[in-house]
Amino acid sequence: MDNKDSKQLINWEIEIGMITNIGVIREVFKVFAIASAIPAVFVFILWALDGFPEIIDLKDSKNFILLIFITIIGTVLLILLTGNKYPIRYEITPQGVTFITLDKRKKKNKIIALLLILLGAAKNNPTAVGTGLLASSRQNMYTNWKKVKKVIYHKKRRSISLVASDMTKNILFCNEENVKEVFNAVRLYCPKARLIEK
Nearest CA among 191, 3, 168 for reference residue 98: 168
pLDDT score of 165: 92
Are the CB atoms for 175 and 158 separated by under 8 Å?
Answer: yes
CB-based burial label for 25 (10 Å; 0-12, 13-18, 19+)? middle
Specify the pLDDT at position 88. 87
Compute CA 186 distance to the chain's CA centroid, rounded to the nearest angstrom: 19
Pick the CATH number of 4-197 from 2.30.29.30, 3.40.630.10, 1.10.287.110, 3.40.605.10: 2.30.29.30
pLDDT at 14: 92
Q: Is 82 exposed, middle or buried (0-12, 13-18, 19+ CB in 10 A)?
A: middle
pLDDT, position 5: 46
The pTM for the full model equals: 0.64
> Across the beta sheet with 85-92, what order do the strands follow?
10-17, 85-92, 96-101, 140-144
Q: Give tens-digit pLDDT for 152-185.
A: 999 998 999 999 998 888 999 999 999 999 999 9
Q: What angle do CA 151, 144, 188 make, to 5 degrees?
A: 55
Give the Cα separation of 78 and 70 in Å (integer): 12
| Mean pLDDT confidence for 95-124 | 71
Q: What confidence tens digit (pLDDT) does each residue in 53-98 have?
A: 654 555 566 766 776 777 677 667 766 766 777 788 999 999 999 9
Domain ranges across the chain: 4-197
Q: How many H helices and E strands in the chain?
A: 5, 8
Q: What pLDDT is attached to residue 19?
A: 74
> Residue 6: is its pLDDT beyond 60?
no
Indicate the pairing of strand 159-164 with strand 169-173: antiparallel
Please say if the pLDDT value at position 33 is more than 50. Answer: yes
Q: Going by DSSP bridges, is the β-strand pair 148-154/159-164 parallel, antiparallel, or unpaired?
A: antiparallel
Closest CA to 36 of 71, 74, 88: 71
Give the model's pLDDT for residue 102.
75
Which residues make Cβ contacts (< 8 Å) with residue 171, sequence separation at least 6?
23, 27, 99, 159, 160, 161, 162
Q: Which residue has the higher pLDDT, 124 or 181?
A: 181
Per-residue confidence (pLDDT) for residue 168, from 0 to 100? 84
**Confidence at residue 34, expressed as pLDDT on a 0 to 100 scale:** 74
User: 35 and 127 in contact (C-beta within 8 Å)?
Assistant: yes
